[in-house]
Amino acid sequence: MEKNSLNNLEINSVNLEINEDIISSLKTEIYKRNGFKYNSNVVTVPNYFYRFIGIKNSEKEYYENLYRLDKELRKVGPSYIRFSEGLNKDISIRLQNVLNDIWIKVFSAEVIDVSLIINLISDNGFFPQIESKVLLRQIENNLKGLIEYYIKSNELINNDDIKLIVNYNMHWLYTYSKELFEKFDYTRINPKIIFYGDISKAEVFYLILLSTLGCDILYFNPENSGTFKEIDKFNSFSREIVYNVKAEIKPFPSNMDDRIKTTAFSAKEELDKTLYTDDCGFYRPWQFADYNVEAVTLNTTYEEIYIWIKEKANLREGFNVKGSTVVIPNIFSKICGIHENIDIYWKEINGVITQKFTKFYNELPIMDVVHLEYGKFDQVYPDNVFSKFNTTEMINSSWWKYKDLRSGLQRNMAEKIKDLCLNPIIKNVEHEDLRDLQVDIFSVLINLDKKILELLQSFDYPEEVPKIVIYNNEENGKLSFEDCIMLSFMDSMGVDIIIYNPSGYNDIENFIDPEQYDIHRLENISFKLHFKKNSDKKKGFFKNLFNS
């Protein structure tokens, strides 16, 4: 069946059991989920609707996991929405006026006629303007069914209750449907919602409606169950997981992530005692050559850059070996401006660029413009609903340029290329279709130059960390889109990256997700400041004596 042809069918949503790896569950494409099927009329979309009440372990871990989940789902794009301060309740005056007229007609009868409500709303054109007429019709039918269910399951319901729920749901359908459903391919990635904190009955109703249309819904509340029981009293639409620990609702975490935050250097001696034990700290050369690489960017102060940049990987805070994976703490920092004492600035830069396995770039861009490799991308990731990104096919292809590199490195490179294509951290500045952006990224990463490859080939993971240092004074060219793709890739491979920009102008900010790197700002800025190589020589004994 051709791509998107299933979108002409009605959705039958089935609530799946979620596993411990929530992120993996949510990112699994629909056709790979248990229960996916279709016939000539209906496509069964397995989705998740879970309510997590309370805290499983520690509060710190709870909010770290929430932040990480949100961060991963943001990669889905506009079909993911997080609500942490409730839904938009600013109903337009025009909608309010039309709805008030509708309710006058509805409440004039002895019994509420739900069909009349839906028909009057439809006649006034207030259902969302979406391309799929089948989906639009299903939204109308599902809304009608849910209103009828709510009325029948609540004996003491009053007119104001129904009016409030319907008014808000019409507003939210009109507000959010386009971004949620516009690119919904019923076989691939379905729309996703995280709702955190207190929730009203109308908001519960809206989440239930979205779940019946195939959306994944996760509700988190560390304190209580909210108002779900008033709408879904029999857990007919959602599953609830309750933990024993309860805590007050705090603001949704805004700056936690899976990056390792260093302690002050005064704690480094204690760290060394931990590292140099019998079971870790000493490794054979190339012991981990065939291991997987997981780079975790250090979140440092400015001063700590010059401490950690000199350390081997296995002496850095956070280095670890987990099974067949080496966790490498690396640095990705941009330094804006200069010191008041310019000599200190030059000394710091020269101290970094003279280290082992360091590539220094003083002329930009680094990468040449590449030919877009649509054919090769289609070969490893065909554009159809059942395709997977085949890294083995890529490595074994005739056009793979990295065959001379060690095998374990090739495998790691292929996996990182796959990850950066499927989960781009590069900004879509041209607002391309996702596949076009993926081809942009892919085309750069299969055409890396020899100097970049030498850095990777020289990297014995527990030892000296290779480095890319860039000096950008706005006169020596500009960092390009292709450069930033390459830098993101090298960061994912555990390479240290430092960008010096004395003027403080944007460069990587234009193309790379800001959560991937740190920015440090010095006291002053300087425009068109040419790089100065350190030429200080040690003074002789007599020169020191007579110039003291």
**398 pLDDT more than 60:** yes
Mean pLDDT of 318-342: 94
What is each CA distance from 539 to 350, 354, 547, in whole angstroms? Answer: 19, 20, 10
| Residue 387 included in any domain | yes
| pLDDT for res 451 | 94
Residues 475 and 494 in one domain: yes
Cα–Cα distance for residue pair 496/524, rounded to 1 Å: 25
**249 pLDDT more than 90:** yes
Residues 402 and 512 in one domain: no
Q: Where are the beta strands (DSSP E) in 370-525?
A: 467-471, 496-501, 518-521
| Residue 480 included in any domain | yes
Residues 341 and 270 in one domain: yes
Which tokens belong to 410? 């090739």
Most confident segment among 229-238, 280-289, 504-513: 504-513
| pLDDT for res 293 | 95
- Lowest mean pLDDT, pick from 89-93, 155-159, 411-415: 155-159
- Residues in contact with 114: Cβ distance below 8 Å, sequence separation at least 6, in sequence order: 144, 147, 148, 151
Facing residues of 326 across strands?
293, 321
Note if the bond before 502 is cis, omega within 30 degrees: no
Mean pLDDT of 2-18: 80
Give per-residue pLDDT as tens, 125-154. 888 888 888 999 999 999 999 999 888 888
Residues 464 and 424 in one domain: no
Q: Where are the beta strands (DSSP E) in 202-279?
A: 216-221, 239-242, 260-261
Q: How many domains does the chain have?
A: 2
Cα–Cα distance for residue pair 142/502, rounded to 1 Å: 58
| pLDDT for res 545 | 41
| pLDDT for res 404 | 95
| pLDDT for res 129 | 83
| Residue 243 included in any domain | no
| Residue 479 included in any domain | yes
Residues 379 and 434 in one domain: yes
| Residue 485 included in any domain | yes
Mean pLDDT of 292-312: 94
| pLDDT for res 94 | 84
- pLDDT class of 377 with cuts at 50, 70, 90: very high
What is each CA distance from 67 to 64, 71, 97, 194, 256, in whole angstroms? Answer: 5, 6, 40, 11, 6
Using the structure block, give the residue that is written with the tokens 């290329």.
Answer: 417
- pLDDT class of 260 with cuts at 50, 70, 90: low
- pLDDT class of 266 with cuts at 50, 70, 90: very low
- pLDDT class of 281 with cuts at 50, 70, 90: low
Q: What is the SS3 assignment for 15-67? A: ECCCCCCHHHHHHCCHHHCCCCEECCCEEEEEECEEEEECECCCHHHHHHHHH
Residues 272 and 361 in one domain: yes
- pLDDT class of 336 with cuts at 50, 70, 90: very high
- Lowest mean pLDDT, pick from 35-44, 378-387, 466-475: 378-387
Residues 342 and 426 in one domain: no
**156 pLDDT more than 80:** no
Write down which residue in 411, 431, 448 finishes a domain: 448
Nearest-5° Cα angle at 356, 514 to 287: 90
- pLDDT class of 386 with cuts at 50, 70, 90: low
**339 pLDDT more than 90:** yes
**285 pLDDT more than 60:** yes
| Relative orientation angle of helices 407-422 and 450-457, to the nearest 10 degrees | 120
Torsion angle, CA of 509/513/515/516, rounded to 10 degrees? -90
Q: Which ranges constitute the DSSP H helices of 91-131?
A: 93-107, 114-123
Residues 279 and 349 in one domain: yes
- pLDDT class of 272 with cuts at 50, 70, 90: very low
| Residue 415 included in any domain | yes
- pLDDT class of 297 with cuts at 50, 70, 90: very high
| pLDDT for res 264 | 54
| pLDDT for res 4 | 52
Give the residue, 243 or 257, on which the prediction is more confident. Answer: 243
SS3 assignment, position 393: helix
Residues 513 and 386 in one domain: no
Residues 361 and 441 in one domain: no
Mean of pLDDT over the chain: 88
Q: Do the Cβ atoms of 10 and 135 come closer than 8 Å?
A: no
- Lowest mean pLDDT, pick from 291-305, 419-433, 523-537: 523-537
Give per-residue pLDDT as tens, 68-109. 999 999 888 888 999 999 999 988 888 889 899 999 999 998
Q: Domain containing 362: what range?
A: 260-368+454-521
Q: What distance lies between CA 261 and its chain's CA centroid? A: 19
Mean pLDDT of 197-209: 95
- % of the chain beyond a pLDDT of 70: 91
**452 pLDDT more than 90:** yes
Residues 354 and 498 in one domain: yes
Residues 352 and 475 in one domain: yes
Q: Do the Cβ atoms of 144 and 112 come closer than 8 Å?
A: no
Cα–Cα distance for residue pair 346/354, rounded to 1 Å: 12
- Residues in contact with 235: Cβ distance below 8 Å, sequence separation at least 6, in sequence order: none
Give the residue, 179 or 217, on which the prediction is more confident. Answer: 217
Write down which residue in 399, 433, 448 finishes a domain: 448
Torsion angle, CA of 284/493/483/414, rounded to 10 degrees? 110
Write down which residue in 418, 433, 448 finishes a domain: 448
| Relative orientation angle of helices 159-181 and 201-212, to the nearest 10 degrees | 50
| pLDDT for res 261 | 58
Cα–Cα distance for residue pair 26/18, rounded to 1 Å: 9
| Residue 412 included in any domain | yes
**172 pLDDT more than 60:** yes
| Residue 3 included in any domain | no
What is each CA distance from 251 to 73, 84, 242, 255, 257, in whole angstroms? Answer: 19, 8, 20, 11, 15
